[in-house]
């Protein structure tokens, strides 16, 4: 579990002080993947660097499994650092060392005996799906494979936390997929808490349980992705759910009721909406939206229109089955928004 409280960090800038982190607080539950997103300069990397103890914050606290990292020094600080694996933003493998040799580096530094080291390197290569590339040098590996070696190296000392800063930014969609699969395994098979800095919402969509949205050094949204998609006005919802905006602008019909519904899990793939219509004897039309998957959970957002006396009862019934139903003003020809 990572708990960040009221973290601030400023840098001297040309036009005065730049407040990179301005009172950041967030929690990353143990064994989850948090996506830290936000526009360029929002403070994402600074946050990751502070948690990785590569940057000293000006104030605030960072606790990993209960230990406050900011107050540590000497041997205690070195021990805490071993709890945090870091996948650097830039390609950081040593060119003259093989994949196995790169992964072994932190184990050599920790003076792990040879046989144990070999065994651990083999396990890590297996975890990242590169057992057959152990003897390859970085130049003989693809970008995605190099990144997976960097992840294995960051995990060598069995940290409880893994930080990855833009781990897929230089990769094409296919190799991105292989790196994300590895991060997912790191969380699910090793129980490691993972913090991924990314500007790519597809990363959040694929693997993140939680999200923190940063803007100008502040957290403007933080929580479980599957909770936030149902929250009104949520940035996470607008970035991850199927679009509704183009819907019904020129829709000429009028309806008794119009509502946006968000369905998570089984409800998204089941026959909930048609069943609501037939049970209540209403006519139900889909005006827009669609289905998607978030971290393997099916999720749908639809704008629906209902005609019939029992339209309200049908919407209530849908809501009682776990859908989030938000009523819209009834559409009138040409005025829908």
Ligand X SMILES: Nc1ncnc2c1ncn2[C@@H]1O[C@H](COP(=O)(O)OP(=O)(O)OP(=O)(O)O)[C@@H](O)[C@H]1O
Q: Give contact residues for ligand X (rule: CB under 6 A).
A: 11, 13, 18, 20, 38, 40-46, 199
The single residue listed with the structure tokens 């929580």 is 223
At its nearest, how many Å lie between ligand X and the CB of residue 118?
Answer: 37
Nearest residue to 63 (alpha-carbon basis) of 155, 193, 213: 193
Q: Which is nearer to ligand X, 47 or 300 (CB)?
A: 47
Between residues 105 and 170, which has the closer beta carbon with respect to ligand X?
170
Question: From the CB of 120, what's the least distance to ligand X, in Å?
Answer: 32
Minimum distance between the CB of residue 12 and ligand X, rounded to whole angstroms?
7
**Nearest residue (CB) to ligand X, 62 versus 304:** 62
Torsion (CA) 8, 11, 17, 20 in degrees, nearest 10: -50
The minimum distance between CB 7 and ligand X, in angstroms, equals 12
| CA separation for the pair 198, 100 (Å, rounded) | 27
Q: What radius of gyration, in Å, describes the C-alpha atoms of the chain? A: 24
User: Please, which residue, 45 or 168, has the CB nearer to ligand X?
Assistant: 45
Per DSSP, helices labelled H in the chain are: 44-51, 74-82, 99-109, 114-127, 143-154, 173-190, 201-207, 225-228, 235-240, 266-269, 272-280, 311-320
CB of 227 to ligand X, least distance (A): 24
Nearer to ligand X, 20 or 182 (CB): 20
Report the nearest approach of ligand X to the CB of residue 28 (Å). 17
Any idea how long the chain is?
337
Alpha-carbon span 210 to 238, nearest angstrom? 16
3-state DSSP assignment of residue 256: coil
Instruction: Output 37 or 276, the one with its CB closest to ligand X.
Output: 37
List 223's β-bridge partners, or say none: 211
């Amino acid at each position: 579990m990572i708990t960040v409280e009221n973290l601030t960090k400023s840098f001297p800038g040309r036009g005065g002080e730049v407040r990179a982190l301005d009172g950041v607080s967030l929690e990353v539950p143990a064994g989850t993947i948090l996506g830290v997103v936000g526009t360029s300069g929002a403070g994402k990397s600074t946050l990751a660097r502070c948690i990785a103890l590569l940057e000293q914050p000006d104030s605030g606290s960072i606790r990993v499994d209960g230990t406050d990292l900011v107050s540590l020094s000497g041997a205690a600080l070195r021990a805490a650092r071993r709890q945090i694996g870091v996948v650097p933003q830039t390609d950081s493998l040593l060119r003259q060392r093989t994949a196995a040799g790169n992964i072994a580096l932190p184990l050599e530094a920790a003076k792990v005996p040879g046989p144990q080291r070999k065994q651990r390197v083999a396990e890590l290569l297996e975890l990242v799906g590169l057992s057959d590339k152990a003897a390859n040098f970085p130049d003989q590996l693809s970008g995605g494979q190099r990144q997976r070696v960097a992840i294995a190296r960051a995990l060598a000392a069995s940290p409880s936390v893994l930080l990855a800063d833009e781990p897929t930014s230089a990769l094409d969609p296919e190799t991105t997929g292989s790196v994300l699969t590895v991060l997912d395994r790191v969380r699910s098979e090793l129980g490691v808490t993972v913090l991924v800095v990314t500007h790519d919402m597809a990363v959040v969509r694929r693997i993140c349980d939680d999200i923190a949205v940063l803007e100008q050094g502040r957290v403007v949204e933080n929580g479980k992705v599957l909770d936030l998609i149902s929250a009104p006005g949520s940035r996470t919802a607008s970035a991850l759910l199927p679009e509704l905006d183009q819907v019904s602008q020129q829709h000429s019909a009028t309806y008794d009721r119009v509502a946006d519904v968000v369905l998570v899990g089984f409800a998204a793939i089941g026959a909930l909406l048609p069943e609501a219509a037939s049970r209540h004897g209403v006519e139900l039309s889909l005006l827009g939206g669609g289905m998607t998957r978030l971290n393997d959970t099916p999720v749908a957002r639809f704008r629906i229109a209902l005609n019939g006396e029992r339209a309200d009862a049908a919407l209530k019934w849908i809501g009682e089955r776990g859908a989030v139903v938000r009523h819209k003003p009834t559409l009138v020809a040409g005025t829908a928004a």
